[in-house]
């Protein structure tokens, strides 16, 4: 079991294979008419703040578009589609030139994103895409958009100092994975990249457009990767050899070599987490939890920690038996 932080990733050719298409991932509360399912994002939501999980999964409250998250989507699309080109053409200038086109493609699907760069300086500012901000940029829309696109291009270019795409042939890109555990809980997610060595070792790679966390805060990021590793292990019967987080915001690579015991522990944690979600869903009790990320939450108006009131609970409530009732 190894956990290391690197400033530059190795140049070893690690994979050969074909690509797959994207698939939509959804999560559902544990109701009788919906299958029990969980993704890394929603699991993290509940661990961070159970009320946030409720707002997103049960109440489905709208959230305003984020310039940082949108930039992450564009950067991910560039890094995925660059591998469509022959190895010799996977260059930094080509990748940078792809950024405006990927933005236009995304904008065509989601026209509301144009509001991020309106003339009145609206939007949420331009953060690092992983929970943290750089402050908002104001000014005319063309200037704000140009600055935002330049930031995306810098992130794409930094990737070339961490990995050499000319020496990589991913087995999978944007791979949708799903497996059902013996308990009936379905785990699903979308993996940025899967590399498979000629000897069969599997490496899972995830791109982050923000900065690498301090070592004491790396567990949350690794939880997502272990979640993916657990799903692949259950699907393919082989524990991935390496989990790799590529932080484009700071130019770091965080690697972790899991063992079977790690993944069994993650499975136990997820089962306990799902039981907590089930009980909260039945009782309607989703307690808020204040963290340093509350300042970035769109739902403060509905959060009791900020003087708000949650909307009426939309599901039937099953009373939790008291200790005296249970013992009797």
Q: Which pLDDT belongs to residue 20?
A: 33
Residues 6+ apart with CB under 8 A from 167: 11, 12, 13, 87
Q: pLDDT of the chain along its 328 residues, tens only?
A: 444 433 333 322 333 233 333 334 456 555 443 468 999 999 999 999 999 999 999 999 999 999 999 999 999 999 999 999 999 999 999 999 999 999 999 999 999 999 999 865 444 444 444 433 344 444 458 899 999 999 999 999 999 999 999 999 999 999 999 999 999 999 999 999 999 999 999 999 999 999 999 988 888 889 999 999 999 999 999 999 999 999 999 999 999 999 999 999 999 999 999 999 999 999 999 999 999 889 989 999 999 999 999 999 999 998 876 555 555 5
Fold classified for 2-60+170-280? Lambda Exonuclease; Chain A (3.90.320)
Mark 67-76 as b/e (b = at least 16 C-beta within 10 Å).
bbebbbbbbb
Q: Residues 264, 305: contact at Cβ < 8 Å?
A: no
252 φ, ψ (degrees, to nearest 5): -110, 155
In a 13 Å sphere around the CA of 296, the CA atoms on its Cβ side amount to: 20
User: Would you kindly state where each structural domain of the chain is located, as residue ranges?
Assistant: 2-60+170-280, 67-159
């Amino acid at each position: 079991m190894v956990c290391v932080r690197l400033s530059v990733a190795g140049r070893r050719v690690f994979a050969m294979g074909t690509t797959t298409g994207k698939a939509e991932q959804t999560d559902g509360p544990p109701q009788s008419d919906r299958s029990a399912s969980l993704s890394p994002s929603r699991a993290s939501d509940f661990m961070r703040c159970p009320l946030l999980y409720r707002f997103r999964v049960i109440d489905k409250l709208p959230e305003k578009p984020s310039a940082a998250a949108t930039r992450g989507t564009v950067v991910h699309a560039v890094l995925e589609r660059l591998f469509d080109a022959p190895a010799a053409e996977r260059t930094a200038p080509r990748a940078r030139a792809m950024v405006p086109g990927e933005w236009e493609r995304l904008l065509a699907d989601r026209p509301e994103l144009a509001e991020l760069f309106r003339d009145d300086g609206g939007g949420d500012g331009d953060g690092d895409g992983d929970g943290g901000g750089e402050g908002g940029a104001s000014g005319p829309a063309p200037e704000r958009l140009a600055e935002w696109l330049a930031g995306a291009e810098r992130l794409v270019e930094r990737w070339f100092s961490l990995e050499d795409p000319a020496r990589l042939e991913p087995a999978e890109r944007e791979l949708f994975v799903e497996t059902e555990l013996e308990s009936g809980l379905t785990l699903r997610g979308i993996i940025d990249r899967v590399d498979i060595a000629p000897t069969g070792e599997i490496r899972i790679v995830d791109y982050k457009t923000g900065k690498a966390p301090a070592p004491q805060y790396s567990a949350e990021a690794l939880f997502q990767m272990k979640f993916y590793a657990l799903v692949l292990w259950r699907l393919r019967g082989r524990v991935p050899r390496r989990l790799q987080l590529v932080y484009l915001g700071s130019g770091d690579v965080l690697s972790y070599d899991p063992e079977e015991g790690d993944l069994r522990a993650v499975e136990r944690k997820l089962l306990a987490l799902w039981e907590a979600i089930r009980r909260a869903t039945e009782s309607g009790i989703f307690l808020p939890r204040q963290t340093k990320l509350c300042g970035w939450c769109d739902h403060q108006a509905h959060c009791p920690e900020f003087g708000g009131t949650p909307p009426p609970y939309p599901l039937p409530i099953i009373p939790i038996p008291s200790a005296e009732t249970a013992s009797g």
